[in-house]
Amino acid sequence: MGNNFHQAGIGTREGLARAPGVYRLTRRLVILTEIIAPYRIPVFNALAQRPEIELHIIFLSENDPTIRQWRVYKDEIRFQYEVLPSWRRRIAGYNLLLNRGVRSALNRIQPDVVLCGGYNYLASWRAANWAKGHGVPLLLWSESTAFDRRRRYSIIEFLKKRFIGMCAAFVVPGKSSQNYLSARGIPEDRIFIAPNAVDNSFYSKLAEDTRSDEAKVRARHGLPPRYFLYVGRLVRDKGVFELFDAYARVKSEIRSQVGLLLVGEGSDHDALAERASQIEIGSIQFRGFVHREELAEIYALADAFIFPTLSDPWGLVVNEAMACALPVIVSDVAGCAADLVRDGWNGFVVSPGAVSKLASEMTKLAEDPDLRREMGGRSRERIDAYSPATWAEGVAKAVMIAGAARR
């Protein structure tokens, strides 16, 4: 794809922002991030609406079809952006993405602040070096936590340490990432929280509409009368094998009434299908990849959402499930757990791989409709604080403070 620049209905701010010798009331911000993910568009739109931010997004690719089949909702974009020419390959399970045009894009835009959504692409290092050479503050949008399994690789830790050393400030989604950076010696005043968010209103509205026409929606999707729901990649690190083991330990009379439904694709699908065939009582369904419109309907009719991951920087599917007013069961290594789930209030928090505990919490929710309703309502209440506008406010604060220190 060519190096295309898109106005997307947003004009640049002139006047005070560009007049020489006049105090800048705005900051020109470039965010460098991988793909046009549908869940990022609402937060970027919210940031573009901030009067103090002149936003430009540089995407390294439109999508990554080797992992997910997300649609690219360009009609919803309300910010300036461009997609760099790219070359992508997956080699031995690793994602190799190379780009052209990073420096020329930055030279053209002349940002006051650069925010990189990670350090694992060559384009991020080129942007970091450009920022250093031009005296522009570099910020890292970091979701790493102390539970990240990638920490076992010394080369990754070495690269991360080098990149962190180049950064003026950090944007994190919540407590787990904040604590991780603090443990690495980053001062508190250089860490800014911008809570990870999805378009809550989109999911909650579709969930309400679904429940008002439940029989029709359930028939259209072929959904069982009751089910636990998992959404995510079907790979071992997501804890799906432990989820199957937990489901098998739930009492047979419950399994005969409450199925297990998995939405997503992944390399361990066949092994999971074999494991499912060994569970004699109960219903396990694999739905493959589902786009967000149908996904909200599937969330809405579940008894509970389960995210048993063994390692995950956040887990935006938990945000989505909570916006659909579901009780949630989340492993404590998920980055979102410390912020979104209060154990025993809107769901349960379990240790990764704690199969017996997971089965016990699934049983509690399956047996108590009042508990499901109360916890689901609390999930919907809690997720309101994790909105695109709140994310944009956190990023804007980081950018304005870091930008004020530009040399």
Q: Percent of the chain at pLDDT above 70? A: 90
Tokens of 128: 């970091």
Between CA 150 and CA 129 the distance in angstroms is 24
- Looking at the DSSP assignment, which residues form a beta bridge with residue 56? 30, 80
At 24 the pLDDT is: 58
Q: What is the pLDDT of residues 126-159, one digit of tens each?
A: 999 999 999 999 999 999 998 876 556 677 788 8
At 66 the pLDDT is: 66
* Nearest residue to 184 (alpha-carbon basis) of 202, 163, 208: 163
| Model pTM score | 0.91
Regarding whether 149 and 213 lie in a shared domain, the answer is no
At 93 the pLDDT is: 61
Regarding whether 187 and 330 lie in a shared domain, the answer is no
At 371 the pLDDT is: 98
Q: Percent of the chain at pLDDT above 90? A: 81
Between CA 48 and CA 57 the distance in angstroms is 10
At 149 the pLDDT is: 65
Regarding whether 225 and 205 lie in a shared domain, the answer is yes
Asked whether the predicted pLDDT for residue 8 surpasses 60, the reply is: no
Asked whether the predicted pLDDT for residue 296 surpasses 90, the reply is: yes
Q: What is the pLDDT of residues 57-105, one digit of tens each?
A: 999 998 877 666 788 899 999 999 999 998 877 766 667 788 899 999 9
Regarding whether 283 and 347 lie in a shared domain, the answer is yes
At 297 the pLDDT is: 97
CATH number of the domain that residue 299 is part of: 3.40.50.2000
Regarding whether 176 and 106 lie in a shared domain, the answer is yes
Regarding whether 238 and 164 lie in a shared domain, the answer is no
- Of 307 and 157, which is predicted with more confidence? 307
Regarding whether 330 and 224 lie in a shared domain, the answer is yes
Number of domains into which the chain is organized: 2
Q: What is the bridge-based pairing of β-strands 80-83 and 4-6?
A: antiparallel
Asked whether the predicted pLDDT for residue 186 surpasses 80, the reply is: yes
Query: Which helix (H) or strand (E) covers residue 250, if one does?
Result: none
Between CA 139 and CA 170 the distance in angstroms is 5
Between CA 66 and CA 52 the distance in angstroms is 37
Q: Sign of the CA dihedral 351, 352, 356, 358?
A: positive
At 88 the pLDDT is: 79
Sheet holding 53-59, edge to edge: 4-6, 80-83, 53-59, 27-33, 113-116, 138-141, 169-172, 191-193
State whether residue 330 is helix, strand or coil.
strand
At 99 the pLDDT is: 85
Question: What range does the domain containing 321 cover?
Answer: 200-383
Q: What is the pLDDT of residues 13-39, one digit of tens each?
A: 433 344 444 445 899 999 999 999 999
Is 350:358 a contact under the CB 8 Å cutoff? Answer: yes
Measured CA angle at 336 (ends 326, 147), to 5 deg = 135
Asked whether the predicted pLDDT for residue 44 surpasses 60, the reply is: yes
What average pLDDT does range 284-301 have in this prediction? 95
Strand ranges, E, within 165-245: 169-172, 191-193, 227-231
Regarding whether 238 and 152 lie in a shared domain, the answer is no
For residues 360, 366, 372, 373, the Cα torsion angle rounded to the nearest 10 degrees is: -170
What average pLDDT does range 340-355 have in this prediction? 97
pLDDT confidence tier of residue 1, bands split at 50, 70 and 90: very low
Tokens of 346: 């809107």
What average pLDDT does range 290-309 have in this prediction? 96
At 154 the pLDDT is: 74
Is 252:281 a contact under the CB 8 Å cutoff? Answer: yes
Where does residue 121 fall: left (phi above 0), alpha (psi -120 to 50 degrees), or beta otherwise?
Answer: beta
Regarding whether 330 and 192 lie in a shared domain, the answer is no
Query: Which range has highest mean pLDDT (2-11, 87-96, 198-207, 274-283)?
Result: 198-207
